[in-house]
């Protein structure tokens, strides 16, 4: 790479807050220029459209058939331009491209969790083939895999039978956005007569919102509790309808926000909520856990998700078994009744997560990039 020019980075991802944050942070570094592949709409000069929307069923079929060829061609073409590829979330199209394209430039892979775990038993043969391809790509085509937590690093190495430890690296690379470090900007106080419980994850069965309603229905504070859910894309699907119907039948107050929320809006909601609920079937480590914790929205977590225990413990979070409804309800009630413990958890969380500012993540991303380029 010529000494006097900027480092060229191709960012391969799927549109979302993690991907967008990394693009924004890397764009702020003077010594780096980026191209972003994975957006559905071109909003910046560095956006390249890899996936097109389609309206009719026939158009969707043709789009799916064309997509692998388009992405493979993009990888081949951009490999000549860039100095390093960074892959956010290994979707099927990126996986196939890395499998078939003989790249000359190094590849950094940032896993999310759902892209490298194959838990759908109804798609056993498909998952088996995909895992074989994934394993080959990680062993032969990826130069560095960046994870945040020891548990996920060990699990990743175990699932993919990866013995080359130099391929794996631990860094704090997912920032807590600046909005969540400014509690004084949100002067609204929590109500003494009403408890807001915020479940910020996508309104899908995977995140067990329906089970949360069952848990709250058994609470002795049920008449004072309001559950808040976010339907980010505004889809009125069967699950959303079932959630609303179930809450109504059990006489549980539920508010569903049918749109995407900005970081400032999320921060305001966390600042007035008592709890931040994350009880999915499985997870890597949801950023909303940390964002809420910084604003004294105490995390309620599924005790069966092992990765949650990387940063959380009994002193700063509530671990429940979501499938033991009555036991989980009693545990939540005990914290609602103990305001001193709630405040203590808040102080601990603000101390733990203060190192996730965007400036720290910029330093870590830069170190990761130079680590690969200078090999």
- Please give the Cα distance from 197 to 270 (Å, whole number): 9
- Residue 2 in domain: no
- Residue 269 in domain: yes
- Please give the Cα distance from 131 to 169 (Å, whole number): 21
Q: For residue 117, what pLDDT is reported? A: 67
- Please give the Cα distance from 124 to 141 (Å, whole number): 25
Q: For residue 191, what pLDDT is reported? A: 65
Q: For residue 156, what pLDDT is reported? A: 87
CATH number of the domain within which 183 lies: 3.40.50.2000
Residue 19: other Cβ atoms inside 10 A: 21
Domain shared by 214 and 348, yes or no: yes
3-state helix, strand, coil in the chain (%, to 5): 45, 15, 35
Domain shared by 74 and 30, yes or no: yes
Structure tokens at 270: 């966390």
- Please give the Cα distance from 311 to 294 (Å, whole number): 13
Domain shared by 193 and 171, yes or no: no
Place of tokens 């400036």: 359
Please return the burial class of 312, using the count of CB atoms within 10 Å of its CB with bins 0-12, 13-18 and 19+: buried
Domain shared by 200 and 160, yes or no: no
Domain count, the chain: 2
Q: For residue 160, what pLDDT is reported? A: 85
Q: For residue 190, what pLDDT is reported? A: 64
Domain shared by 170 and 39, yes or no: yes
- Please give the Cα distance from 103 to 99 (Å, whole number): 10
Domain shared by 290 and 276, yes or no: yes
Structure tokens at 33: 């220029």
Domain shared by 22 and 129, yes or no: yes
Q: Mean pLDDT, 10 residues at a time, over the chain (375 residues)?
A: 82 81 88 81 59 70 82 93 93 92 95 67 68 92 91 84 87 86 61 86 92 97 95 79 95 93 91 94 82 93 87 89 97 92 91 84 93 88
- Residue 366 in domain: yes
- Residue 188 in domain: yes
- The H or E element spanning position 149 is none
Q: For residue 149, what pLDDT is reported? A: 80
Structural domain range at position 90: 7-175+357-373
- Residue 131 in domain: yes
Q: For residue 374, what pLDDT is reported? A: 85
Domain shared by 134 and 109, yes or no: yes
- Residue 1 in domain: no
User: pLDDT tens, 4-46?
Assistant: 789 999 999 877 777 888 888 998 898 999 988 875 545 565 5
HSE-up (13 A, CA, CB side) for residue 102: 0
Domain shared by 143 and 189, yes or no: no
User: pLDDT tens, 260-293?
Assistant: 888 899 999 999 999 999 999 988 777 889 899 9
Domain shared by 59 and 45, yes or no: yes
Indicate the SS3 state at residue 302.
strand
User: For residue 199, which phi and psi values (nearest 5 degrees)?
Assistant: -115, 95
Domain shared by 134 and 272, yes or no: no
**Prediction pTM value:** 0.75
Domain shared by 56 and 41, yes or no: yes
Inter-residue contact 33 to 1 (CB < 8 Å): no
């Amino acid at each position: 790479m010529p000494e006097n020019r900027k480092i060229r980075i191709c960012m391969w991802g799927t549109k979302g807050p993690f991907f967008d944050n990394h693009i924004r942070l890397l764009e702020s570094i003077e010594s780096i220029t980026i191209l972003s592949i994975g957006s559905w709409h071109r909003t910046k000069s560095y956006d390249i459209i890899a996936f097109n929307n389609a309206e009719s069923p026939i158009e969707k079929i043709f789009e799916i058939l064309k997509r692998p060829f388009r992405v493979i061609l993009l990888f081949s073409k951009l490999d000549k331009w860039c100095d390093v590829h960074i892959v956010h979330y290994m979707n099927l199209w990126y996986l196939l491209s890395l499998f078939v394209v003989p790249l000359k430039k190094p590849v950094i892979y940032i896993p999310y969790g759902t892209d490298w775990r194959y838990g759908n038993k109804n798609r056993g043969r498909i998952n088996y083939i995909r895992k074989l391809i994934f394993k080959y790509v990680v062993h032969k085509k990826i130069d560095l895999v960046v994870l945040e937590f020891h548990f996920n690093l060990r699990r990743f190495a175990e699932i993919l039978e990866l013995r080359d430890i130099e391929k794996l690296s631990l860094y704090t690379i997912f920032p807590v956005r600046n909005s969540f470090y400014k509690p004084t900007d949100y002067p609204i106080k929590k109500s003494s007569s009403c408890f807001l419980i915020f479940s910020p994850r996508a309104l899908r069965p995977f995140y067990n919102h329906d089970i949360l309603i069952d848990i709250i229905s058994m609470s002795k504070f049920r008449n004072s509790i309001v559950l808040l859910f976010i339907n980010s894309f505004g889809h009125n699907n069967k699950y959303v309808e079932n959630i609303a119907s179930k809450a109504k039948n059990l006489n549980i107050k539920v508010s569903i926000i049918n749109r995407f929320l900005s970081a400032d809006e999320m921060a305001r909601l966390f600042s007035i909520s008592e709890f931040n609920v994350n009880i999915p079937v499985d997870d890597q480590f949801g950023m909303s856990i940390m964002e809420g914790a910084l604003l004294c929205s105490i995390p309620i977590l599924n005790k069966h998700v092992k990765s949650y225990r990387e940063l959380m413990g009994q002193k700063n979070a509530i671990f429940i078994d979501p499938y033991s409804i009555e036991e989980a309800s009693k545990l939540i009630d005990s914290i609602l009744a103990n305001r001193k413990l709630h405040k203590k958890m808040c102080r601990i969380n603000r101390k733990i997560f203060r190192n996730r500012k965007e400036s720290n993540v910029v330093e870590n991303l830069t170190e990761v990039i130079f680590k690969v380029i200078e090999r």
